[in-house]
Amino acid sequence: MSSMCDIPKFWINLSGLAHSSNLNAVESCMTRVFCMQGALIFHRWLCDVIPAAVNRLSRNTWLEKLAWNVQIAIQQKKEATFDSADYLPNLTFHRVYELAPMHFRYDQTELIISVVSSIVRLWLHFPSDEFSLLQLSLIDVVTSKSPLSILFLDKIWDMYKSPFSTFFNKWNKKTSKTKMKTALAHFEEQFALHPFATVGSLEYSKLEFLQQLISQWTEKNGASAETPDMASCILYVFTVLF
């Protein structure tokens, strides 16, 4: 008899459990997108501000001063140390970059940009390995040609987390930089022809629709009574349309 009394409780709570499962799936997707988009935003920011600082002649900001001092060190072909405490005193954890003497180059702009980028990445605790840069390069190509909602697709997350078992097939982390650059350039050319990157295609329209759902979900922020329907709708797009 006690078991009979418990059976109705299961059915009463079943819809709540399904709703909770839907929310967990959506939150998991959003967390993954936050990881990828956040890393990409900081990566793009660095790629924009450092060349601009190197090409300016002023020393008004800490980054311009750093670029100037790096240029002097390279021109003098001397060892130099760059302590984050001298430029960004408010950082919680400080780091020191050791610069070895550099060979002379007629045009040193790209070299200066590379060194300054390495210094700032070290100071701000950016991942410094080529694997991380490869991940960001792949996501950069995808998001530059498709709606941002493409980051919500499981296959994109798989590519981001394991590029050497998805995008590069049997390649490994020891693959040469030249081969990686060639493969990335080829990928960018091929992806530009993909339906996900073709405005007006059915697949591109689905990504746009997904973007609308995501915007609605973000605005509602789980407070509306219609949230369960929205969660189910987004999950439907994730698992069925794609």
How much is the average pLDDT of 82-104? Answer: 90
Contact 196, 207 (CB under 8 A): yes
Handedness of CA 47, 52, 58, 61 (dihedral sign): negative
pLDDT value, residue 208: 94
14-30 pLDDT, tens per residue?
888 887 787 788 788 88
What six digits make up the tokens of 83? 């302590």
Quote the CA–CA distance of 45 and 205 in Å, as a whole number.
29
For every residue of 35-84, DSSP letters joined together read HHHHHHHHHHHHHHHHHHHHH-----SHHHHHHHHHHHHHHHT--EEEEH
Query: Where is mean pLDDT largest: 2-16, 23-37, 75-89, 168-182?
Result: 75-89
Q: Of all residues in the chain, what percent carry a pLDDT higher than 90?
A: 36
Q: 35-39 long-range CB contacts below 8 Å, 24 or more apart?
A: 36/139, 36/151, 36/156, 36/157, 36/160, 37/143, 37/148, 37/151, 39/132, 39/135, 39/136, 39/139
Quote the CA–CA distance of 152 and 33 in Å, as a whole number.
6
Domains of the chain, by residue range, sit at 25-128, 129-242
State the pTM of this model.
0.70
Contact 220, 226 (CB under 8 A): yes
Alpha-helical runs (H) found in the chain: 2-55, 62-76, 84-87, 109-123, 130-145, 154-161, 177-191, 202-220, 227-236
How much is the average pLDDT of 38-57? Answer: 89
122-154 pLDDT, tens per residue?
999 988 777 888 888 899 999 999 999 999 999
Residues 6+ apart with CB under 8 A from 236: none
173-227 pLDDT, tens per residue?
566 667 778 888 888 999 999 999 999 999 999 999 998 988 887 777 653 433 3
28-43 pLDDT, tens per residue?
888 888 889 888 888 8
Contact 142, 191 (CB under 8 A): yes
Tell whether the model's pLDDT for residue 238 goes beyond 70.
no
Tell whether the model's pLDDT for residue 45 goes beyond 70.
yes
